[in-house]
Amino acid sequence: MKKRVLLSLFLSMGVLLTACSGQVSDANTAAEPPETAPESEKTAEGEETTEQPETLVLSINGTVLDVQWEENETVSELLAYVQNENIMVNTTRYGGFEQVGSLPQRFSRNDAQMITGPGDIVLYSGNQLVLFFGSNSWSYTKLGHIKGMSAEELSEVLGADSAIVELKAG
């Protein structure tokens, strides 16, 4: 009796595994299309150039900074906004560790409790842009991080009473 039950169980499992594998062995099945390369254009001289996707460009008091942007809905919305109009944010120093200023509208939030550090760029309360030259612990939506600057350099750029932050497409 045990042998019959085990044999039935193994046969059932074999049939189920074969049926669920989803593999098709049809020689006529079309191959997947190759990945598409970025669109290219011809210059006036006939040379081919590759179109680069646009990204956000951040400047503080007119100086463009290198930023590693997050890949999230909020950054996508900011990029879509600056396709039509640059964002200028007048920020003020707050708490001795950040510059904060109001954005022109609310953006999507995906807040998470985090500890920020010098160079972090976050969204607070859906409409506040915050750039850190120090550290804080709060619930924010992470937007990006300023690269290539030490904490001391960030303090020089962001430590003043106020700053003008510009976001544009680049």
pLDDT tens per residue, range 7-54 = 444 444 443 333 343 433 333 433 343 344 444 455 556 565 555 568
pTM equals: 0.70
Higher-pLDDT residue of 7 and 112 is: 112
Residue 103 in this model has a pLDDT that exceeds 60: yes
Buried/exposed 124-159: b ≥16 CB within 10 Å, e otherwise: beeebbbbbbbebeeebbbbbbbeebeeeebbebbe
CA distance 131 to 95: 12
Closest CA to 91 of 128, 135, 136: 128
pLDDT score at 24: 36
Please give the backbone phi and psi of residue 67, each rounded to the nearest 5 degrees, phi first.
Answer: -125, 135
Rounded mean pLDDT, 73-83: 98
The CATH fold assigned to 56-169 is: Cyclophilin (2.40.100)
Strands (E), the chain: 40-42, 48-50, 56-60, 63-65, 67-69, 87-94, 98-102, 112-116, 120-124, 128-132, 136-146, 162-169
